[in-house]
Amino acid sequence: GQQVMQIPQYQHVQEGEDFTTYCNSSTTLSNIQWYKQRPGGHPVFLIQLVKSGEVKKQKRLTFQFGEAKKNSSLHITATQTTDVGTYFCAGQQRDDKIIFGKGTRLHILP
């Protein structure tokens, strides 16, 4: 069936270090979206990537969509305590369903 795998499940980093989470789909995606969920909150939309090989930046966050439109990554440079939360990727499938990865929980050590 349709699956979106996300790794790692957990990541502990020292404040100021970089962080990357990876997303892989078993099928080709129409687009991929990234969300952030703070502890006790709900997912908040960060960005959407549509084109093969697309790269987008938001301040310290860099998002990439693979050439085959089956994988994606989110990289955070110089993490801050405000980056704490769980980061989800969500792939829109060819049948238009949006399937979420299980998320990467980021914990920042001061």
Residues that bind other proteins (CB under 8 A): 1, 30-31, 33, 35, 41-45, 47-48, 50, 88, 90, 92, 95-103
DSSP-assigned letters across all residues of 59-90: TTEEEEE-TTSSEEEEEESS--GGG-EEEEEE
Shortest separation between residue 1's beta carbon and other proteins, angstroms: 8
Residue (31 or 62) nearer to other proteins, CB: 31
Structural contact between residues 50 and 31, judged by C-beta atoms closer than 8 angstroms: yes
Shortest separation between residue 37's beta carbon and other proteins, angstroms: 9
Residue (7 or 17) nearer to other proteins, CB: 7
Shortest separation between residue 51's beta carbon and other proteins, angstroms: 12
Distance CA 49, CA 60 (A): 17
Is beta strand 104-109 parallel, antiparallel or unpaired with respect to 10-14? parallel
